Structure formats: structure tokens, C-alpha cells
Structure 1
Amino acid sequence: MADVDGTQGFTSDTVAFFTELEQHNDAAWFDAHRGTYKSCVQAPLAALLEELTARLSDAPVPLRGSRATMFRINRDVRFSKDKRPYNTTASALLTPSGTKAEDAGLLYLQIGSEGGFMAAGLHSPAPARLAPLRDRIVEAPEDFEQVVEDLGAADLALGTDAQLKTMPRGYAEHAEHPQAWALRLKTFIVQRPITAELLLSDDLAERVEEFARDAAPLLMFVAGRGDA
């Protein structure tokens, strides 16, 4: 990752921070290491988002991210049995709007002590947002099949973990549709791992950019756009 305003990329200190946080997930430890968090996690993540914003400005679906699209490391423990106060990973979004709004698709990054992953598409949309995607699949199965083929050519596949066992309400008559499996999806996401080696590599931004461009057919589909 390039040096932006004097900020270096992720380093072994980043990995060490997350490793130790996993072992000492409490406010006292975090307060004592807040400076490390800011310099070794927050700053390089913000720099990565800035670089990716520039790299993806001419992509089929331009994506933008900044400190405003980074997620807080503090966990919301109000309704959780797990009262550990901090996430042991850092995460952020890049979206067409440059905000955390996800309706037009997203690129999601998550990093931790062992690397992380990158994901793209539309995550768990509301039923009102999901219905138009399903309708487009019903009406133009060949177009959606082309999206799937283009993703496959880049060694990407839509995740099927979040998939209904039966046809969704209102789509039972399409149980024999050639893309019936996709009509049962509740989320439209592809992803790739960020290995521990890649996390510390100068190639990180380039590899994330490559992933975003490989995922462009899906991002264009969820945004309601045709071919670029």
C-alpha cells in the first residue's frame, strides 16, 4: 500500500495489536494501547480507503470510502451475552455514495490478527430492496446467468449460506425457473480472503482493486445497471 500523507500500511505492530486485544479485551488494556490502535490500525485503514477511492474512481461502479465509512471498534453489548467491549477486527466500507448506505452495493473490508477478507455486493437487503432483484432475475434470466458466468471467470461465486430452503413468498410459481436457486438468496455477496501475508504486503491496495473490478458485474446488477 502506498504511503499517504506519511502513513505507512499495516505492519507487524497491527497484527500484534489484534493478537493482544484477543487476549486482553478490556477497557484498561485498550486505553493503554489506544495510541497503537490509532497509528497501526485506524490510520493505515483510512489511507487504504483513500487509495482505493482513487483507484476505483473509473471503475464500472465507482466506490468511495473514508474515515466516515470505517466501523467503530467498540461493540454494542447492550443486548448481547458476550460483554467483551471491543471487536477483535477492524472493518470499513466503500460505496457509490461514499457513505455507509448500502442500497447501491458495497465493498467491505475486514482485517484482524490472521488477515481478513474482502466482500462485495449487497448484504441482507430489506424485503423491499430484495424484491426488485428477484423480479429482474425472473424477467431476464440470461442477463443474470451472464453475471454468474462473469463472476466465475474471475473465480468468484455468490455465497449460498444465506439461502431460503423453499421459494420466497410470492415466487412459488417460479420453482422451476432456471435461476430458482438465486431467487432463494437473501444476500448477494462474493468474497475473497486477505491472507496474513497480503495484509502486510505493498500489494494490498492493488489486490483489493482487482477484486472490486472482478466483482463489478455483481455490483452493476445490484445497482440496477446494465453492462458498462
Structure 2
Amino acid sequence: MFSPKSLSFLSQLTNNNEREWFKANQVQYENDVRTPALQFIQAMQPHVLALSPRLVALPKKVGGSLMRPQRDARFSKDKTPYKTNVGIQFRHFQGKDVHAPGLYVHLANEGCFLGAGIWHPDSTALNKLRTCIDENPNAYKKALIQLNHAGFEMQGNSLIRPPKGYDKAHPMIDELKRKDFIAIKPISSQQFEDKDFVSWCAKEFEHTQKLMGYLCFALDLDY
């Protein structure tokens, strides 16, 4: 599946981030990046379904678990047309976009990692998550313990001040301030290229089950 050629292509793309170059090297992208990524998704399918039948592992070039290589540069100062990473998301089938709860795999020269949770939830979802943490803190704490033991760390953006309706002395205030509920575990490129990466990845995602179940419960989603 993934090999040193995958990161090598991404490195070349970083130095030649133009449509003309990408089109001229499309075959290399297909062979070294997209095909290995789709093979990985296919191999992960039974493992993802074992974690939850509500998660989707779809090995399609467009509209599946592999995130598109094109960047949305409309609201960014950086107008380069392509992402210099590979993003793979196994998200909840009821989620409409990348902001749904899900599992995530990231391959890049700047760093590789596994992720689980929900990124940039909308205000309605964010309010549900905060209410749930306020009313049901113990299950959330158990999820954090499971993550920490496995080397995952909660990351993402947070508010500077407490959200409206919550006191700064609230025992869970740091968690209530979160705008993202994402657990991240850095991994090496060598792990990506290992022949046992699929089974290793599946085992690592088992450590995120309490968090995923909690977030889905908070959002009234089956898991």
C-alpha cells in the first residue's frame, strides 16, 4: 500500500504546487498516492465496520473516504491549488460533511497522525456537546482516560473565555471551552509504510471508542 513514494510525491507537489505540474504527473499521483490510499480504505473496511456499523469506509476516487486533493482556496491567502497531504476519513453515515464525527488518518511530510472525534462542529452541535459534558461528565472523563493511556491527546481550537451560560469555575471548563473535539496521535511515516499498518491502525482506533460513542450520544446519533 503506502510506500516512501507516497511522501516523495507529496514533497514534489509542495515544490511544484501548480495545476500544469499536477496534470503532467497525474500517473505518478495515481500510482503512488491515490491507489495506495484506496487500497488502504478497502482493507480497513471490515475493521471500521467492526468498530461501528454506522461508520463509512468507502474506497471511491470521488465522494468516498479519501478526501479530494484540491484545496478550497476561496477564503485563504494561500492560493495553491492542491493539498500536500493525504486525508482519509471514516465518518458517521448520518454526517453530511467533514464536520461529522469520524475517524481520520493523515499522511504528510510535516507529520502523520491518527485522529478521532468531531472537527469544527456547528453551533447547534457544539451546544449539544457542551450540554452533555455539563450533565454527564463521568463518561466523558472515562473517554479521556482511555485516550491518554493510548497516547492520544485532545487538540483543536478553544474559546479564550467560558462559553455563555458556564461559570469559569466549572470543573470541566477547559473541556467546555473546546470548539473542536478531536483526539490526535502522532505516528511515524515508517508506521504508515509497515505491512501491518491496517491491523495496527484498527487496534489504535479501538482506544477512541469511548470518545466516539460519547460524541454520538451527545449528538443523538446511533453508534
Scaled by the length of structure 2, the TM-score of the pair is 0.87
Q: Supply the RMSD in Å over aligned alpha carbons.
A: 2.3
Contact kept in structure 2, 1:133 and 1:222, CA below 8 Å = yes
Cα gap change, 1:147 to 1:81, in 2 (>3 Å): closer
Contact kept in structure 2, 1:107 and 1:119, CA below 8 Å = yes
What is residue 89 of structure 2 aligned with on the other side? 93
| Partner amino acid, structure 2, of 1:45 | A
What is residue 104 of structure 2 aligned with on the other side? 108
Shift of 1:204: 1.7
- Percent identical among aligned pairs is 26
Q: 3-state SS of the aligned residue for 1:151?
A: helix
Query: Given the alignment, which residue of 155, 169, 191 partners 2:151?
Result: 155
Q: 3-state SS of the aligned residue for 1:120?
A: strand
Q: Point out 4+ residue stretches in structure 1 off by more than 6 angstroms.
A: none
Map 1:30-109 to 2 at 5 A.
30-59=22-51, 63-66=55-58, 67=60, 68-97=64-93, 101-102=97-98, 105-109=101-105
| Partner amino acid, structure 2, of 1:47 | Q
Cα gap change, 1:106 to 1:141, in 2 (>3 Å): same
- Determine the C-alpha separation between the residues in 2 that align with 1:13 and 1:100: 33
- Determine the C-alpha separation between the residues in 1 that align with 2:215 and 2:113: 21
- Give the greater-gyration-radius structure (CA): 1
Contact kept in structure 1, 2:139 and 2:214, CA below 8 Å = no
| Partner amino acid, structure 1, of 2:120 | S
Alignment pair present for 1:168 and 2:160: no
Shift of 1:36: 1.0
Scaled by the length of structure 1, the TM-score of the pair is 0.85
Cα gap change, 1:62 to 1:51, in 2 (>3 Å): farther
Contact kept in structure 2, 1:64 and 1:97, CA below 8 Å = yes
What is residue 3 of structure 1 aligned with on the other side? none
Shift of 1:189: 0.7
Q: 3-state SS of the aligned residue for 1:136?
A: helix
What is residue 211 of structure 2 aligned with on the other side? 218
- Determine the C-alpha separation between the residues in 2 that align with 1:61 and 1:219: 13
Higher mean alpha-carbon deviation, 138-147 vs 212-221, is at 138-147
| Partner amino acid, structure 2, of 1:27 | R
Contact kept in structure 1, 2:120 and 2:180, CA below 8 Å = yes
Higher mean alpha-carbon deviation, 196-205 vs 55-64, is at 55-64
- Determine the C-alpha separation between the residues in 1 that align with 2:161 and 2:189: 38
| Partner amino acid, structure 2, of 1:30 | F
What is residue 195 of structure 1 aligned with on the other side? 188
- Determine the C-alpha separation between the residues in 2 that align with 1:215 and 1:61: 15
Shift of 1:98: 8.2
